[in-house]
A = this chain, B = another copy of it.
Amino acid sequence: MIDTPYLEVDVDRMTRNLAVLADRARSAGVDFRPHAKTHKCAEIARMQIDSGATGLAVATIGEAEAFADAADITSCTDIFIAYPIWPTPAKAARLRALADRVSLRVGVDSAEGARHLGALLGGQRVEALVEVDSGQHRTGTAPGDAGGVAAAGVSAGLDVVGVFTFPGHGYGVGDTRRRAAEQEVAALRTAAESLRAQGIDPRVRSGGSTPTVEFVGDPTYAGVLTEIRPGVYPLNDAQQVEIGTCGFDDVALTAVATVVRSEPGRIVLDAGSKILGADRAAWATGHGRLLDHPDARVVQLSEHHAVVEFPAESTSAPRLGDVIRVVPNHVCTAVNLVDELVAIDGSDSRWPVIARGHNS
């Protein structure tokens, strides 16, 4: 009996999710490099590698260090920091130390950034991918400019091996996912051509998010991409349910919470934004969902309270003191709020969130 609120992983469900996407990558003939920022756990990374992943993606140098430190558990020494790092000398020293012990790949998205990174790496060979913007409009250069960035990187001593993008604009309802996947393919194709025009072989063409990997079997998609990097898929979350990537039966992580107040049609839970996270997209129907009550909505969220409303006709609303399961909107930020996950695997293991808070 653990005191609520806490985060729990349904290991059977997760194992099934791991197999589905690994199979999909295998069928499509692309490499599979899951993004470990979602779970930040060595145990889950190990299961991903065992399912056929060729390496891990991470977002920061600190996350790469945490997973390099856990290589005895993960059996993985192939790490891609999928981020256009602007290093200080101190960060560059950390990158060099990492490159001494794992196969390290990093992102660049501007000629100036590539030159700066190459100079600070001081001749140490590190693989680099040029990030291109496929429509999210976050980081990433225009696809047609990727060759110029790549050439700057090569001149600065980087081992530029290809291009990558994150189709984060695929998070949405309707045909948003398919359109983002089409833009992703188009951007990577253009970027690859841009590298070839500079005489640089774009042998790695990396994309894929949990919402868009559904399309990896399409010949146009797999014909361009050589690697996918979904993150959320082992655990899933309310966002994935609401955009249609998965069903409630595929959700493997929940916040276990206690009802601390109950009124007709309305309850308040002890799980708030400090364990669920506060992410809420414009199209989200609330601040998370209840796994066993699809008709309920989390209408208000504060740090340690979730206010949940039920339809007037509902007869199944939980009562004061009941313990129930909440599906966070965005699992990556929920996991980052706890030191360990409770794994429901027959022995109630605790999995340390080894890269929690490794922002730098």
Contacts and interface: CB of A to CB of B under 8 A. Distances in A.
A200 B68 CA distance: 61
Contacts of A337: 336-337, 357, 359
Q: Is the interface of A mostly helix, strand, loop or mixed?
A: loop
Interface stretch (A22-30, A69-77, A242-250, A256-264): A256-264
A80 to B, nearest CB: 14
Interface stretch (A42-50, A156-164, A269-277): A269-277
A302 B138 contact: yes
A274 B339 contact: no
Contacts of A138: 268, 300, 302, 305, 307
Nearest to A83: B304
Contact of A278 (B6, B260, B279, B305): B279
A333 B137 contact: no
A275 to B, nearest CB: 5
Contact of A274 (B116, B333, B338): B333
Contacts of A332: 303
Interface size class of A (residues with CB under 8 A): 35 or more
Contacts of A168: 302
Interface string A301-326: 01111010000000000001100000
Nearest to A38: B303
B357 A339 contact: yes
A3 interface: yes
Given A5-B359, A138-B300, A278 B333 contact: yes
Given A84-B260, A261-B84, A336-B337, A137 B360 contact: no
A17 to B, nearest CB: 20
A245 to B, nearest CB: 18
B258 A3 contact: no
B357 A338 contact: yes
Contacts of A60: 304
B305 A139 contact: yes
Given A3-B91, A86-B321, A303-B332, A260 B113 contact: yes
A359 to B, nearest CB: 5
16 contacts: A2-B360, A5-B360, A6-B359, A6-B360, A86-B259, A113-B261, A137-B300, A138-B268, A138-B300, A273-B278, A274-B336, A277-B278, A278-B278, A278-B333, A336-B337, A338-B359
